[in-house]
Structure 1
């Protein structure tokens, strides 16, 4: 059993990494003062680009990205475990990667996860997204070994693919991170339902820090960062404000939920329809 305090930071990220870093540093430092030992930021926390040209001109490889370097140093300074929910970085080819990075209290990278499922859609309101045109998809599920337990790492659109979450839970995850920048329309319809379902199906805590508001690039994000128990109960919800939410976590609740609903043990192989 492990007990710790978690914090999920909700931000409205802009287009300039330097400005975003100032805001992140302040919020992370405040969360540490409030006793949080594990702090998570949303998806695309280093910057949200105006367009392809701006993204290409701004993104850097991980080894050169100032936000990544600064967050690593901040984790060491504050002696916290810190998840950069995701950062936009230059990939090996022409495309970017949407990468979640977890730092330990020494500022060392303990795990990296590149978003597997990419969001390509044209919405009824005229909004369009084509992540696969700009980003390289990740290829591997990742679990980070933390002092509190095992963290399964996902990003945003991954939440719609329960098979990934089942794999993470089956391989020992106690909690799963879902940093996101959900659109306002889809968030209102699906966000809470999906996160509670993933928690209930896996018997894991869900930590979901999110973007909120109207961003400089015109995107509208839903907010409602949440922390969900393994039983599917929402422990904290940030609503539509730029703020940080907290919860005190006891990992015994993971085993308790799985004893009461041992669904992970009851899956059976079956043939698809003819």
Structure 2
């Protein structure tokens, strides 16, 4: 396993058209390569953020024909860099979309695909219900993929609130958990960093959480604060909550083993039952 990974994490204000977002990724790849990065990590909805369902349907297609995914493959191959695409909507086959992520290697090959499992159907006080499941179909499987830097686990945004997914990944020796997101401002302010640091600490893994930020074409406002967190829970970078940007972070993959050796909770877990007492 290669010990050192140089990562470029991207924070975006995605548009409601593929073209503008592809242009941003082209710039991000050029920056990452100039900085000697091995990997570019993008946020949820990096390919397109568009809550106008009718307009979105005129653009969204199956993965094999998606212009954003195709552009990421081309850029990865041309520049010899891995790209974690964050996510982009693709057609599901049942009239809804899939919130879909790819991990693309330095040859431009998609070596792993993941569809968001847990959909954001929540009811925040003073705000309309989100109802993500009315537009998106859920994924059905978690994904861990072997890379030269160890195994990596894939997730998207609301998956963050389901810690058993990341525990399953850690038990399969995942060294990095990708959590690309487009958090709302109220939930981001209240929960974002706390939950991300918890996932890193309890699993002894790096968390890479590229995020959307600011005011989007479709009227949404997102929290930002893209974070990279080490296995001990230390925030290595925070891109803030006001504008798009890029940051380069060096990850020592050996720190995963050291953290898990010091606090071996993955080995210490025991089977148990719960006794419910009524009075």
When normalised by structure 1's length, the TM-score is 0.97
- Alpha-carbon contact 1:110-1:145 (below 8 Å) kept: no
Distance (whole Å) between structure 2 residues aligned to residue 144 and residue 78 of structure 1: 22
Indicate the residue corresponding to 1:105 in structure 2.
106
Indicate the residue corresponding to 2:14 in structure 1.
13
Indicate the residue corresponding to 1:46 in structure 2.
47
Indicate the residue corresponding to 2:240 in structure 1.
239
Indicate the residue corresponding to 1:257 in structure 2.
259
Indicate the residue corresponding to 1:126 in structure 2.
127
Task: Please list, as runs of the form range in 1=range in 2, the aligned pairs for 1:108-257 lying within 5 A after superposition.
Answer: 108-240=109-241, 241-257=243-259
Q: Which runs of 5+ in 1 are unaligned?
A: none
Residues 210-254 of structure 1, C-alpha deviation per residue, up to 9 Å, x if partnerless? 000011111110000000000000000000221112211111100
SS at match of 2:5: strand
Distance (whole Å) between structure 2 residues aligned to residue 54 and residue 145 of structure 1: 37
How many residues align structurally?
Answer: 274
**Cα RMSD (Å):** 1.0
Indicate the residue corresponding to 1:3 in structure 2.
4
Distance change >3 Å, CA 249–CA 26, structure 1 → 2: same
Distance (whole Å) between structure 1 residues aligned to residue 185 and residue 150 of structure 2: 32
1:269 and 2:268 equivalent? no
Q: How far off its partner does 1:272 sit? A: 2.4
Distance (whole Å) between structure 1 residues aligned to residue 193 and residue 211 of structure 2: 12
Q: How far off its partner does 1:171 sit? A: 0.6
Distance (whole Å) between structure 1 residues aligned to residue 254 and residue 128 of structure 2: 43
Indicate the residue corresponding to 1:33 in structure 2.
34
Q: How far off its partner does 1:258 sit? A: 0.4
Q: Which runs of 5+ in 2 are unaligned?
A: none
